[in-house]
Amino acid sequence: MKGKAPASGKLRGIAAMARLALASDTPRAVGAVVMTLAISAHPVVVALFIRQLTDAVVAGHADTAMGWGLGLAAAVASWLALLWYTFGLRTVLEEKVRHAAEAGIAAMSMAPWSVAHHEDPEIAEELALIERDVNRLAQVVIFLLTLLGALGQLLFAVVVLADVHPVLLLLPAVGALPVWAARRGDRWRQRSLELAAADENRARELYAVACGAEHAQELSVLGAQAAVRDRHRQLAGAAQRERETGAHRSFRVQADATGLFGAAYAAAVAVAVLAAVAGKAGVGDVLLTIALAAQVTGQVTMATDAVTQLVRAKATADRYLRIAALADGDRTDGAEPPETGDGLALHDVTFRYKDAARPALDGVNLRVEGGQTLAVVGENGAGKTTLAKLMCRLYDPDGGAVTWNGAPLSTLDPEAWRSQVSAAYQDFVRFEVTAGHTVGLGDLPRIDDTGAARTALRKADGERLEDALPDGLATPLGRSHPEGTELSTGQWQKLAVARSMMRETPRLLVLDEPTASLDAETEYRLFQHYARASREVTRDGRGIVVIITHRLGSVRFADRIAVMERGTVAETGTHDELMAAGGRYARLYRTQAEAYRLDEPQHAEPEGER
Strand partners, 549: 377
Classify residue 393 by burial, with Cβ atoms within 10 Å: 0-12, 13-18, 19+: buried
What percent of the chain clears pLDDT 70, i.e. is strictly above it? 87
Cα separation, 516 vs 587, whole angstroms: 22
- Burial (0-12, 13-18, 19+ Cβ within 10 Å), 223: exposed
| pLDDT computed for residue 573 by the predictor | 92
The mean pLDDT of 514-539, rounded to a whole number, is: 64
Q: What ranges do the domains of the chain cover? A: 12-165+281-329, 335-420+506-610, 427-505
Give residue 161's pLDDT.
76
Contact 350, 359 (CB under 8 A): yes
- pLDDT tens per residue, range 348-376: 999 998 878 889 999 999 998 888 889 99
How is domain 335-420+506-610 classified at the architecture level of CATH?
Answer: 3-Layer(aba) Sandwich (3.40)
Supply the pLDDT for residue 9: 52
pLDDT-derived band at 18 (thresholds 50, 70, 90) equals confident
Q: How far from 113 is each of 1, 249, 351, 393, 417, CA to CA, in Å?
A: 8, 46, 17, 8, 11
- Region 466-474: mean pLDDT is 88
∠ Cα 179 182 185 (to 5°): 150
78 vs 171 pLDDT, higher one: 78
d(CA 151, CA 173): 13
Task: Strand 344-351: give its sheet, edge to edge.
Answer: 361-368, 344-351, 399-404, 407-408
| Cβ-based neighbours of 352, under 8 Å, separated by 6 or more | 358, 359, 360, 398
Cα→Cα distances 319→127, 141, 313, 503, 516, Å: 8, 16, 10, 38, 38
pLDDT of residue 3: 47
Give me the residues paired with residue 422 across strands.
Answer: 509
Kindly list the distances between the CA atom of residue 194 and the CA atoms of 243, 305, 335, in Å, as whole numbers in the listed order: 9, 21, 46
Residue 518 CA to its chain's centroid (Å): 32
Residues 432 and 492: their CA atoms lie apart, in Å, by: 10
In 60-169, alpha helices (H): 62-110, 116-119, 121-132, 134-164
The pLDDT of residue 564 is above 50 = yes
Query: 303 with 157: CB under 8 angstroms?
Result: no
Report DSSP state, residue 499.
Answer: H
> With contact defined as beta carbons under 8 Å apart, do 361 and 386 qualify?
yes
What is the per-residue DSSP string for 92-122? HHHHHHHHHHHHHHHHHHH-SSSSHHHH-HH
For residues 288 and 50, is the Cβ–Cβ distance under 8 A?
Answer: yes
What is the per-residue pLDDT for 572? 92
- How would you classify the pairing of strands 568-573 and 560-565? antiparallel
Q: Considering only CA atoms, give the Rg of the chain.
A: 35
Closest Cα to residue 474, out of 503, 452, 490, 450? 450
- Residue 351: what pLDDT? 94
pLDDT tens readout for residues 215-232:
777 777 778 788 888 888
Comparing 442-446, 504-508, 597-601, the range with the smallest average pLDDT is 597-601
| Predicted local distance difference test score (pLDDT) of residue 167 | 73
362, 567 in Cβ contact below 8 A?
A: yes
